[in-house]
Amino acid sequence: MNIRSQISMVFHLDKCIGCHTCSVACKNVWTDRKGAEYMWWNNVETKPGTGYPTKWEDQEIYQGGWEKNGDSVSLRGAGKLKGLKNIFANPNMPVLDDYYEPWQYRYQDLFDAPEGDDQPIGRAVSLVTGEPMEVQAGPNWDDDLSGTPDYARKDVNFKNVSAAEQDAMFQLERMTFHYLPRICNHCLNPACVGSCPSGALYKRGEDGVVLINQERCRAWRMCVTACPYKKSYYNWSTGKSEKCVLCYPRLESAQPPACFHSCVGRIRYMGVMLYDADRIEAVASADEAELVDRHLDIYLDPNDPEVIKAARANGVHDSTIVAAQKSPVYKFVKEWKIALPLHPEFRTLPNLFYVPPLLPAMASVGEDGNYDSVNETLLVGVEKLRVPISYLASLFTAGNENKVIDVFKKLHAVRVSRRNSTVGDVSEQQLNTCMNEAGFDTHVANAIYRLTSLCTYEERFVVPAAHREESIEMLESAHDYKGNTGFGFKERPARGL
């Protein structure tokens, strides 16, 4: 057993209102720079939709992630031979137009325009070339389905959804969508790290944050291709790749990242998970049907004395173990099993889990064009969901529909249980049926309800400090720098010649 700690996340999609506050917080802190304007380390997508960059989930195009190769995994479009062969020009790499060309408006023209018959306008100018441009796309132009079926119909996840189900969904498409906020998953088996020819990418041993060493990055661009979530970005100005750093300076001082802190819907949870690093290869190469189960099995019970002992022996700090015991992520993912990884079939073992959106059909447009309620009661079962289960299974379970249904039964049971205790119009038989199907009692239902709806800041974010008193030691060996002040000299991020 080789126990390590991993900072992990849960996003509760039923709570996401798609306000993009997380994206803006991240943009203002990290990517408001030349060469990084197009990057959204945090972005919010509308599903169904094509996402950012366009069709990022389609690995036929981008060749990202790992594929099963016997008892191990190999990179799909990168790696030693495939990667180095493409190092001079990589045909699978997304280019600027796959994201969007960033622009700014010439606001000054509004003030400087001479008096005339027409309203002055501020034209869009490219942030790359500085020339006037016709804006073709933006980072969230399929927001709220964008008033057109064009984006939704191109969603890659409809591969396994039958034509009839799709028609039913698009008949309702004006009201059937949910949001999918995405950041770097800080995977246990990161494809970006595996693909980096110069070894610039690495996973931090202490907390599992995946970072790019800006001084070692040589712009071979393999991480951009290899990351199946397209969360590694190339800065065209500095000639270095960049990615979400999980606001590690904040993490080290026991604060959640900016996107977590600013989340208006409070959909985000962050906590520590203890896992067995020796099992990564075996889990990543599991059969697709059991991929999710094997993935969740790699996380260990932080209250198990054996696990605690092994974690201590492996150098995990006591405060980290305490944080793991209070981790909201552990509750969602392991105890209640209502959070699932995004696209587990990419085999990177992501550490960001989603509580899938329970979208019950309240009403639909009938043949006569009228909008009619389809249910007699407020709470409908899993069978009347607006989104086809096969669609969500394509997102969260590599196609295993039963796993999604299991989660929905639990989420549904929580609602029935709460309805029963607050309004009391639920029959005992219905309550018992729901609880049996969910496999828990009202105590658990209340606990889920509490952490979902009434959670405090401290309950949502249980981040162990990296011990500020030792923080210099996170970066440098203190003995080497005895007598120095600060972190020594750092160079400006100037582009090479």
Partner 1 sequence: MLDYLLFGALPYVALAVFLIGSIYRYVFKGFQVSSLSSQFLEGDQLFYGSQFFHWGIIMLFFGHLIGFMVPSAVVAWNGDPVRLLILEFTAFGFALSCLVGLLLLIKRRLTTKRIQMVTGPMDYVVYIVLLLQIISGIGIAYFGRWGSNWFAAVMTPYLRSVFAFNPNVDLIAQLSTSNAIAMLMVKTHIASAFLIIGIIPFTRFVHFLVAPVDYLWRRYQLVIWNWNNKEIRKSRNYFPGKSREFNN
Least distance in angstroms from the C-beta of 95 to partner 1: 5
Q: Is position 6 an interface residue for partner 1 (rule: CB under 8 A)?
A: no
Distance, C-alpha 96 to centroid of its chain = 22
Unique residue bearing structure tokens 């009228």: 370
Q: Is position 494 an interface residue for partner 1 (rule: CB under 8 A)?
A: yes
Candidate list 199, 249, 366, 488; residue touching partner 1; CB under 8 A: 199
Q: Which residues between 306 and 365 bind partner 1 (CB under 8 A)?
A: 314-317
Q: Is position 124 an interface residue for partner 1 (rule: CB under 8 A)?
A: no
Q: Is position 93 an interface residue for partner 1 (rule: CB under 8 A)?
A: yes
Q: Is position 230 an interface residue for partner 1 (rule: CB under 8 A)?
A: no
Using the minimum distance from each CB to partner 1, give the nearer residue, 219 or 382: 219
Site mask for partner 1 (CB under 8 A), range 450-479, x = bound: --------------------x--xxx-x-x
Q: Is position 283 an interface residue for partner 1 (rule: CB under 8 A)?
A: no
Query: Tokens representing 226?
Result: 């290899």
d(CA 95, CA 52) in angstroms, rounded, equals 12
Count Cα neighbours of 262 within 13 Å in the Cβ-side half-sphere: 17
- Selection from 199, 196, 258 nearest residue 227 by Cα: 196
Query: Tokens representing 108?
Result: 């000054």
Cα 397 to Cα 29, 249, 390: the distances in Å are 33, 33, 10
Query: Tokens representing 33?
Result: 């720079």
- Selection from 226, 207, 181, 196 nearest residue 66 by Cα: 226
3-state secondary structure of 450: helix
Using the minimum distance from each CB to partner 1, give the nearer residue, 221 or 331: 221
Candidate list 130, 369, 424, 483; residue touching partner 1; CB under 8 A: 130
Stretch that binds partner 1, among 16-24, 135-143, 152-160, 204-212 (CB under 8 A): 204-212
Stretch that binds partner 1, among 128-136, 264-272, 377-385, 420-428 (CB under 8 A): 128-136
Q: Is position 218 an interface residue for partner 1 (rule: CB under 8 A)?
A: yes
Site mask for partner 1 (CB under 8 A), range 370-409, x = bound: ----------------------------------------
Candidate list 18, 138, 239, 381; residue touching partner 1; CB under 8 A: 239
Total interface residues for partner 1 by CB under 8 A: 67
Q: Is position 96 an interface residue for partner 1 (rule: CB under 8 A)?
A: yes
Using the minimum distance from each CB to partner 1, give the nearer residue, 180 or 274: 274
Using the minimum distance from each CB to partner 1, give the nearer residue, 59 or 86: 86
Burial string for 83-115 (b: 16+ CB within 10 Å, else e) reads beebeeebebbbeeebbbbbbeeeeeeeeeeee
d(CA 33, CA 141) in angstroms, rounded, equals 22
Cα 340 to Cα 191, 378, 405, 406, 407: the distances in Å are 20, 26, 12, 11, 9
Q: Is position 202 an interface residue for partner 1 (rule: CB under 8 A)?
A: yes
Residue type, 169: M
Residue ranges of alpha helices (H) inside 207-279 are 222-226, 248-252, 258-262
d(CA 191, CA 193) in angstroms, rounded, equals 5
Q: Is position 100 an interface residue for partner 1 (rule: CB under 8 A)?
A: no
Q: Is position 495 an interface residue for partner 1 (rule: CB under 8 A)?
A: yes
Asked if residues 13 and 281 have their Cβ atoms less than 8 Å apart, the reply is no
Beta-ladder partners of 8? 271
Candidate list 149, 366, 439, 493; residue touching partner 1; CB under 8 A: 493
Using the minimum distance from each CB to partner 1, give the nearer residue, 443 or 479: 479
- Strands (DSSP E) found in 223-370: 232-235, 240-243, 268-276, 299-300, 340-341, 352-355, 363-365
Q: Is position 13 an interface residue for partner 1 (rule: CB under 8 A)?
A: no
Candidate list 21, 146, 237, 325; residue touching partner 1; CB under 8 A: 237
Least distance in angstroms from the C-beta of 4 to partner 1: 8
Q: Is position 84 an interface residue for partner 1 (rule: CB under 8 A)?
A: yes
Q: Is position 240 an interface residue for partner 1 (rule: CB under 8 A)?
A: yes
Least distance in angstroms from the C-beta of 369 to partner 1: 47
Cα 300 to Cα 283, 340, 353: the distances in Å are 14, 16, 16
Torsion angles phi and psi, residue 446, rounded to 5: -65, -35
Q: Is position 134 an interface residue for partner 1 (rule: CB under 8 A)?
A: no
Least distance in angstroms from the C-beta of 74 to partner 1: 9
d(CA 99, CA 105) in angstroms, rounded, equals 19
> Any idea what DSSP says for residue 346?
G
| Footprint of partner 1 (CB under 8 A) | 75, 79-80, 83-84, 87-91, 93, 95-96, 128-131, 189-190, 193-194, 196-199, 201-206, 214-221, 224, 234, 236-240, 277, 280-281, 314-317, 470, 473-475, 477, 479-480, 491-497
